[in-house]
Amino acid sequence: MRYLYSVLIGAGLGAGSVFMHASLVPFGLIFVIIATVAGIWSIGRMWGGKTLRILASAAWTIVVLRAGFPGINDEYLIAGSAIGISLINIGFLALVLAILLPA
């Protein structure tokens, strides 16, 4: 169950990141990055284990990268602007930081 919960939490953090990153620029992006690091780190803190943090980070990455591709009607949830690109790049670095932080 812990594995399923960590994947669901990671996907939820990713979905929240996609919808909140462009609101109230640049504070939305800063909030999303801090929430991502805190959420992924707390998974390892609560259940112990780097494997769970890696699974949650993989789910976050899948959700965020999928949102950067065009949908059925060519809509983008993450635009190719500076904020959207920063979410992908800084978010990935934040995931690496959250995985490597001690529990």
One digit per residue, the tens of pLDDT, for the chain of length 103 reads: 999 999 999 999 999 999 999 999 999 999 999 999 999 999 999 998 899 999 999 999 999 999 999 989 999 999 999 999 999 999 999 999 999 999 7
Taking a C-beta distance cutoff of 8 angstroms, is the pair 83, 24 a contact?
Answer: no
Distance of alpha carbon 94 from alpha carbon 48, whole angstroms: 19
Q: Please name the residue ranges forming H helices in 21-81.
A: 27-47, 50-67
Q: CA 55, CA 75: separation in Å to the nearest integer? A: 28
Task: Supply the pLDDT for residue 60.
Answer: 98
pTM of the predicted model as reported, rounded to 2 decimal places: 0.95
Task: Determine the Cα–Cα distance for residues 4 and 77; give it in Å rounded to an integer.
Answer: 25
pLDDT, position 79: 92
